[in-house]
Amino acid sequence: MEKLVNGFLKFRSEVFGNKKVLFTRLSQSQAPRALFITCSDSRVDPTLLTQTDPGELFILRNAGNIVPPYGSMQGGTTATIEYAMAVLKVPHIIVCGHTDCGVMKALLNPEDVKNLPAVKEWLSQAETTRRLMRELHADITGNDRLIKTTQENVRAQLEHLRTHPSVALQLRKS
């Protein structure tokens, strides 16, 4: 915890002053370049990966970078997508999966989350990925199976995004 407090103090004393113009502008409005949807895994840092400054990405993080199809689950993910598209008019959406994802492992091994009811329920939103792996990629094993699951999950979430009215509207306009 001490490292986090010291980091904040350093930000306040050194970084904030050096970027005061940026932070002053951002205090008035935002115009992010993209909605970046990724896993809440601590090893994934969207701004580090993209080398962006505050205000450039509107970031949505959740376990497994899952986008529930519209109407299946109203909550923070759906609200974030709607706000990004309808209010901020974000021009791009990025869905970023990652290696060694615990959620993708749980999709392949549901028994690992049998005692985690909230995680188990959340995984139901990735049923498309689970079925794709079972039906189309049953022959893939080991780490290659986990990598393929991650890839299929990103594709499935892109399809789910199209079910959101605010996304569908922006796609039709472009």
Domain 31-173 indexed as CATH 3.30.1280.10: no
Asked about 144 being catalytic, the answer comes back as: no
Global pTM value? 0.93
**Domain residue spans of the chain:** 1-29, 31-173
The pLDDT of residue 73: 77
Under the banding of pLDDT at 50, 70 and 90, the label for residue 114 is very high
Asked about 139 being catalytic, the answer comes back as: no
Asked about 53 being catalytic, the answer comes back as: no
Q: Which two tokens mark 40?
A: 């809440």
The sign one gets for the Cα dihedral 147, 150, 155, 156 is: positive
Asked about 98 being catalytic, the answer comes back as: yes
Annotate 37-49 with b (16+ C-beta within 10 A) or e (fewer). bbbebeebebeee
Q: What angle do CA 81, 95, 41 make, to 5 degrees?
A: 100
**Annotated active-site residue in 39, 130, 160, 164:** 39
- CA distances 30 to 23, 100, 138, Å, are 10, 33, 45
174 versus 135: the higher-pLDDT residue is 135
Asked about 43 being catalytic, the answer comes back as: yes
**Annotated active-site residue in 41, 96, 112, 155:** 41
Per residue in 63-98, pLDDT tens?
999 999 998 878 999 999 999 999 999 999 999 999
Q: Is the pLDDT of residue 17 over 80?
A: yes
**Annotated active-site residue in 33, 61, 96, 98:** 98
Q: Which helix (H) or strand (E) holds 21?
A: helix 20-26
Cα maximum dimension of the chain: 56
